[in-house]
Amino acid sequence: MGVAGSGKSTVGAALAQRLAVPFADADDFHSEQAKAKMAAGHPLDDADRAPWLERLASWLHDEPLGCVLACSGLRRWYRDALRTGAPGLCFLHLVGDPSVMTGRVAGRQQHYMPASLVHSQYETLEPLGPDEFGVAIDCTLTPEQIVEQFLREVR
């Protein structure tokens, strides 16, 4: 989990490969309408996200042997919605400075998420609560370092 530009897809793919489980990027589950809204510079609201979260929870449920999902998971209720599909879900929160994330998003090619929306994601972000299973790790580490640290901390 984390804001745009934190490395969710890269780290998630590396973690899935390490664990030999399926990987999915939550961005691929957005409707065309949601993608168009973001591309136009408008952040999604909770009504936009609700059906998306249902699709994600369903995918998680359909992978009972384990999987990795790269998903923003910005609010607690979003993570609660994901847990309806996978009650034991463990979160890896990739954290970092907003200027780093904005720079990363600005450098993307052919992605619907503009750098101007990174700020709105920080405004929405609710860090993991003490009762949520997961860890926060600096996203400026290499993907390999992040995977290693995550696996050490959750074991």
Residue 58 sits in a domain of what CATH number? 3.40.50.300
> How long a stretch of residues is the chain?
155
pLDDT tens per residue, range 30-58: 999 998 898 888 888 889 989 999 999 99
DSSP assigned state of 127: P
**The domain containing residue 149 runs over which residues?**
8-154
Q: Would 47 be classed as within a structural domain?
A: yes
Q: Which helix or strand (DSSP H or E) is residue 61 part of?
A: helix 46-61
pLDDT at 116: 65
pTM assigned to the model: 0.88
Q: Would 37 be classed as within a structural domain?
A: yes
pLDDT at 68: 98
Q: Would 1 be classed as within a structural domain?
A: no
State how many domains the chain has.
Answer: 1
pLDDT at 57: 98
Residues of the chain with pLDDT under 70: 107-116
The amino acid that residue 84 corresponds to is: T
The amino acid that residue 1 corresponds to is: M
Residue 84 contacts residue 56 (beta carbons within 8 Å): no
* Among candidate residues 110, 108, 128, the one with its CA nearest the CA of residue 118: 108
